[in-house]
Structure 1
């Protein structure tokens, strides 16, 4: 009866500290993940240029890269590259991929709350855009999506912007970056802000006004990632946001 013997107190197992990359490890791996995403995307364009026997130069890459089908394929090919490097970074820490990225399904209440909040954020920016006489969607995106619809690339663009892009960007921002930075000196608030800033940088093709909108949406996603402890929740919200924007722009004039 060692448990009752004061000379032999019961052993208390201390839970193992989760293996997590902290601030600098997360930052460096985040840079590698971003580069991998870019390489995967540009690699798709390079492949298309090679298949058409075009000169392998900047002009050819730009020419092909502006085509809706090519751009959609580029976005799609960024996903496996992103997942591969994220898996490697987590594997090195000998951690669970699903637990590290919080790949847990949210409840319907969490999903509803996140969707309502997202709608409110978007409506605020929509109202501001109308009041300022600004377009609600960047002009180049409107041209791209309508061109893709007319050229038979609507389905590819839907898959790219409503599936591949949300998964790639959420795995990087609210998945890997948030996980490591929230466990560092930044804690949860700092991790939400910094990961949202990084996500905003990914969208530098927009002007400052749209970048501000991207940041606020990213901050909401970050809050929901914290509140629900679910990356799937932010992936779904991101996908719904992009899907709505693509469908409205393609078929309802933006």
Structure 2
């Protein structure tokens, strides 16, 4: 037999490399993806500063970064940087980009269910905010959006916050992070919880009250990502949520 013949040793079957990054691989790549998003965003501001002949320092970055058009460009440029980093991470695993991120269009009933749940959740937070005498939108965001409207930057801000930001954040949180962590020891519940926490950390410019709202919305998005197995679903829900907030704040002053 070949198994005892020294001239014909038994074949060794090499285990296939998993096509999904597990817990630590997902965490480390997630950090790199976040850094790429940040570099893309800050890089846009640096280019604007250099283009104007200003010194590239913190003061100049802050000055230009406060402008509505510059901020819109910054948020938008975070998207290609994020997609490139995610593509590289998935490419190394020789996995399908579409399947890894669950880029499948959901059933309409799933979209409707997710939208109704999101509306109820937002209304609950809105009611609580009014009961506590709090503003429904963070003051600095309201000022930014109204300033952008008055300076002719309404459409670029609308695109940045309703298209680019939701896509970047969903690809990172409910796309890459959820995919790897749900396949690890965390399983689905832990992946939903931890990816929602990371998504909340991305919004540290808000106070604790708004961070709590972001976290609960993240949990709902995570559940819908699991239920429908579709990143497009959470991206559309995220975009609708941001679009509504931008329109209400920018044009209706709510």
Same-fold status (TM-score > 0.5): yes
Aligned residue number for residue 83 of structure 1: 83
CA distance in 1, matches of 2:201, 2:112: 28
Partner residue of 1:240? 240
Q: CA RMSD in A?
A: 0.8
Cα distance in 2 for residues equivalent to 1:88 and 1:51: 30
In 2, Cα distance between equivalents of 1:93 and 1:30: 14
Query: Could you say which residue in structure 2 is the equivalent of 1:130?
Result: 130
2:145 aligns with: 145
The 2-side partners of 1:32 and 1:58 are apart by 23
Provide the secondary structure at the position in 2 that maps to 1:185. Answer: coil
Q: 1:167 corresponds to which residue?
A: 167
- How far 1:22 sits from its partner (Å)? 0.3
> Secondary structure of the residue that 2:44 maps to in structure 1?
helix
CA contact (8 A) 2:104 2:230 kept: yes
Partner of residue 55, structure 1: 55
- Could you list the runs of 5+ residues in structure 1 that have no partner in the other structure? 1-15
- Partners of 2:21 and 2:104 in 1: CA distance: 20
Q: 1:112 maps to which residue?
A: 112
Q: In the aligned structure 2, how far is the partner of 1:19 from the partner of 1:91? A: 9
Cα distance in 2 between the residues matched to 1:19 and 1:55: 46
Cα distance in 2 for partners of 1:240, 1:84 equals 25
Q: State the match for 1:39 in structure 2.
A: 39
Note the 1:202-213 alignment, pairs <5 A. 202-213=202-213
Task: Give the structure-1-normalised TM-score.
Answer: 0.93
Cα distance in structure 1, aligned partners of 2:131 and 2:163: 32
1:19-34 residue pairs with structure 2 within 5 A? 19-34=19-34
TM-superposition CA deviations, 1:193-239 (whole Å, max 9, x none): 00000000000000000000000000000000000000000000000
Under a length normalisation based on structure 2, what TM-score does the superposition of the two structures give?
0.93
Q: Measure how far apart 1:55 and its partner are.
A: 1.0
Distance in structure 1 (CA, Å) of the matches to 2:106 and 2:183: 22
**Match for residue 155 of structure 1?**
155
Deviation at 1:77, TM superposition (A): 0.1
Correspondence 1:9-24 to 2 at 5 A? 19-24=19-24
After the TM superposition, which segments of 4 or more aligned residues of structure 1 sit over 4 Å from their partners? none
- Count, aligned residues: 239
- Equivalent residue runs for 1:219-234 within 5 Å: 219-234=219-234
For residue 135 of structure 2, give the secondary structure of its aligned residue in structure 1: coil
Shift of the alpha carbon at 1:172?
0.0
Q: Does the 8 Å CA contact 1:79/1:168 hold for their aligned counterparts? A: yes
- For the residue of structure 1 that corresponds to 2:167, the secondary structure is helix
1:101/1:175 contact within 8 Å kept: yes
CA distance in 2, matches of 1:47, 1:29: 26
Structure 2 gap segments, 5+ residues each: 1-15
Report the alpha carbon displacement of residue 18 of structure 1 after superposing the two structures with TM: 5.5
- Alignment pair present for 1:180 and 2:180: yes
* Structure 1 residues 16-60: Cα deviation after superposition (integer angstroms, max 9, x where no partner): 886100000000000000000000000000000000001111000
